[in-house]
Amino acid sequence: MNNYYDNLNKEIKDYFKILEPNFPEWLNEYIDTKELLSQQYISVTCGTIYSDLFESDFFFSSLDHSVAVALIVWHFTHDKKQTLSGLFHDIATPAFKHCVDFLNGDYMTQESTEDLTTEIIKNSKEIMNLLKRDNIKISEVDNYHMYPIADNDTPKLSADRLEYSLSNALFTYKLLDLNSIKEIYNDIEIQKNEENEIELGFKTKKIARNFVDVTSRLSIIYREDRTRYSMQLIADILKRLNDDNKISKSDLYNLKESDVINIIESSKYNQIFNAWKKSKKVKVSKEEPKNVYYVHHGAKVRYIDPLFNGVRISKCCKIANKMIENNLAYDMSNYVYLDIDF
């Protein structure tokens, strides 16, 4: 096997074996390219694992996520082009992931970094040589939105949405164990949705409902007070470092997260960053707090209303529908703060 796979810990390897028992050997050369390997130093948690506000310190990387998405696509399609589109979909991810979307003012859609995908692939001699050898055009793999199994619109189920739901539930927030992951995954098949398009869907109502339960809980975590505060704080620190000429946006695409943290901790923002790292709970208020750094805005709503035998689970299960409604009703109107300021 290759360097990436050989160095994986057992927990991630066991998870990958559920997604695709027979790891596609042809994928290894693509994974072991410089551009993709740089993604192994970026956490999928957008930096939140570095703070005691969050319970997890498990490092599941952007590359782990991308490989897992590719394995899901391969498992259901056995199509190289679709699989590579899944592998490449986050190749333009910078350090702290979606925090840079917050930095770019794109906290509601969180897609501001995707524009660089084609450019990064095009500028990679290794990847372009592999694509040429395999007779694949860049236009066939640089946009996973083309392939509904790889990606589709919320609240549909795609390989990308399925993967980050499973890995976050397993590794980051401990909502599921490996056996539960296997039960969910093995119940999924390709179905036709209400728009007559192919989509991943469930065969068993109870399993679909359990999946909605877990993903609805995750959906709130992705945008709850502590998460929005943390992502905006990191974004604002990075913006100030950029204004101070201590770091550039391009650095975020070239440095490891640990390198960026070293820059932050060597800067005048060290105090606020370390206060955030050691905090156990954020404070909230309906009124604007004084003399502290606060966050007061919404965030992208990520939720899933999967198919159950070709029908949205919310249409045929009152319990699942209520879970989704409760999730969507989560209040993001509070001012969120800690007793710290820049």
Q: In this model, does residue 109 exceed pLDDT 80?
A: no
61 inside domain: yes
Return the structure tokens found at 38. 């740089």
Q: What is the dihedral of CA 12, 307, 106, 223, to 10 degrees?
A: -70
User: What is the length of the chain?
Assistant: 342
Mean pLDDT of the chain: 94
Note the pLDDT tens digit of each residue in 25-54. Answer: 999 999 999 999 999 999 999 999 999 999
- pLDDT tens for 293-342 read 999 998 889 899 999 999 999 999 999 999 999 999 999 999 999 998 88
pTM of the model: 0.94
In a domain, 287, yes or no: no
Cα 293 from Cα 272, distance rounded (Å): 9
Average pLDDT of span 198-205: 98
**Domains contained in the chain, number:** 1
CB 215 within 8 A of CB 165: yes
The two structure tokens encoding residue 99: 């925090």
The answer to the question of residue 121 being in a domain is yes
- For residue 165, is it within any domain? yes
Task: Report, as an integer, the average pLDDT of 211-237.
Answer: 95
> What does the pLDDT look like over 52-61, one tens digit per residue?
999 988 999 9
Average pLDDT rounded to a whole number, residues 187-202: 98
User: Does 294 reside within a domain?
Assistant: no
Residue 112, pLDDT above cutoff 70: no
> Residue 110 — pLDDT band, cuts 50, 70, 90?
very low
CA distances from 7 to 1, 12, 72 (A): 10, 10, 21
Closest CA to 164 of 154, 156, 172: 172
Torsion 27-31-36-40 (CA) sign: positive
CATH code of the domain in which 159 resides: 1.10.3210.10
Q: Tell whether 280 is covered by a domain.
A: no
pLDDT at 264: 97
Alpha-carbon gap, residue 108 to 326, rounded angstroms? 20
pLDDT of residue 108: 55
Tell me the pLDDT tens digit for each residue of 83-107.
Answer: 999 999 999 999 998 787 766 665 5
Q: With respect to residue 180, please indicate whether it lies within any of the assigned structural domains.
A: yes
Amino acid at 231: M
Distance CA 271, CA 19 (A): 42
How large is the average pLDDT for residues 221-238? Answer: 94
Contact call for residues 336 and 329 (beta carbons, < 8 A): no
Q: What is the pLDDT of residue 250?
A: 87
Q: Domain limits at 189?
A: 3-224+301-328
- Percent pLDDT > 70 in the chain is 96
Within-domain flag for 116: yes
Give the separation between CA 153 and CA 190, rounded to whole angstroms.
16
